Structure 1
């Protein structure tokens, strides 16, 4: 049986998450420029780039950026959207990155593209890979959900229409995991998907990162730049490696 993330990031994903816009990505990239010492000559990895919203926004600003994702469907969309830009989009597993040691100046992991794996050792391996491919004094940003905010604001059921497509989303918490069951119905019939993300608390995630050699320097609670607090919307951890 395949893992949920091998099935869920296909064409229907683009419909379910249509609200994630290029304009939002541009604003978020502008904030990343404030938080990081980005320079045009640096090489940036957008890890789990999806359809390439942030990858493309960075490239349009003149940065050298590579996008990596497991989904060939989302990568195909990224390639089409990046027409005219020389962006390498690569298919790969974030636990075993197809790059040599010390290759990147910056690694970005945005919008809860972490915590996908049942076993802690797999999630820790992702952090180890980020450390491995970063140069000495390289920087990273990991943008993750905040468990306390998820527990407070979880909507058990929502149903909406997108261009004659019915999208039903059921959400619940199963131990350490926040889960979602998505049912899509249109003229082609009904399709179902699962999402399951481990809700790693702030102190635990920071401990994992330090264990992997990723030193957190700033923690934000949203892309407005508010400091992280227990009730923050997000956990955005910014830091560097020292090899």
Structure 2
């Protein structure tokens, strides 16, 4: 039995099973979101973008095809190792802790697909927003694309079985001490695996408090990838644009 819940965002993300479970994420939706977002922000031609917690680089790769100079960073060494095969003169990947400022400023910093709120230390949530601000040039915009916690909690599916590539993933979800918790268990070649995802159930109000502490100005809030108005009860996403 392998159980590792201490730092799931390094251990679980670094397993091949994480990428198997989530392999069917909708790339067309992600691409449409990037089109809509970059148009809305009016990022300059050949502009620079930092994809913060980029995973294997699916957003970074597409942003690069739109003509932007993109840097993707992630804590997962395995994800960055995979992404590096796609590097070119205007696309680079690096292992980096997003709680700390990167050494360059950008026209935009994107933190996408709920890649926030899983830190062991509470202060690292604030540190990350401060780091994003430090990574923005004078005209740059920060974007955090988070789940709408209120909607997720109201529509929580307690148990689910997902079969991907012949692996039966048993998923159990609950709310625990202000976190949305997902327990993931499965067996491969007779060996049992257990992992846990813990994401802080931040609301818009929680983010507003963090932004105030970080001296960041919230400009717009949207509720989906088409950038429609945010509604705490019905929106699936919480997309925040700030500087």
TM-score, normalised with respect to structure 1: 0.91
Partner residue, 2:141? 139
1:59 matched to 2:64: yes
Which of 157, 174, 177 aligns to 1:175? It is 177
2: CA distance, partners of 1:129 / 1:84: 26
Task: Map 1:1-243 onto structure 2 (within 5 A).
Answer: 2-10=6-14, 11-80=16-85, 82=86, 86-100=90-104, 103-187=105-189, 189-231=191-233, 232-240=235-243
Which blocks of at least 5 consecutive residues in structure 2 are unaligned?
none
Relative distance call for 1:159 and 1:32 in structure 2 (3 A) is same
In the TM superposition, residue 92 of structure 1 has moved relative to its aligned partner by 1.0
Describe the SS at the equivalent of 1:122. helix
SS in 1 for 2:11: helix
CA RMSD of aligned residues (A): 1.7
TM, length-normalised to structure 2: 0.91
- Distance in 2, matches of 1:179 and 1:131, equals 29
CA distance in 2, matches of 1:125, 1:133: 12
CA contact (8 A) 2:7 2:120 kept: no
Consecutive unaligned residues of structure 1, counting only runs of 5 or more, are: none
- The answer to which of 55-64 and 69-78 deviates more is 69-78
Pair 23,126 (structure 1): closer, same or farther in 2 beyond 3 Å: same
Residues 186, 192 of structure 2: 8 Å contact kept: yes
Q: Which moves more between the two structures, 166-175 or 36-45?
A: 36-45
Provide the C-alpha distance between the structure 1 equivalents of 2:32 and 2:222, rounded to a whole number of angstroms.
Answer: 15
Deviation at 1:188, TM superposition (A): 5.6
Q: Which moved more, 1:139-148 or 1:28-37?
A: 28-37
SS of the aligned residue for 1:88 comes to: strand
Report Cα offsets for 1:124-164 as digits up to 9, x if no partner: 00001111121123101101111211111111111121121
Cα distance in 1, alignment partners of residues 89 and 28 from structure 2 = 18
C-alpha change, 1:75 and 1:30, in structure 2 (3 Å) is same
Residue 84 of structure 1: how far off its partner (Å): 5.6
In the comparison of the two structures, how many residue pairs are matched?
237
Note if contact 2:148-2:236 (Cα within 8 Å) is conserved in structure 1.
Answer: yes
Change (3 A) 1:5 1:140: same
- CA shift at 1:179, angstroms? 0.5
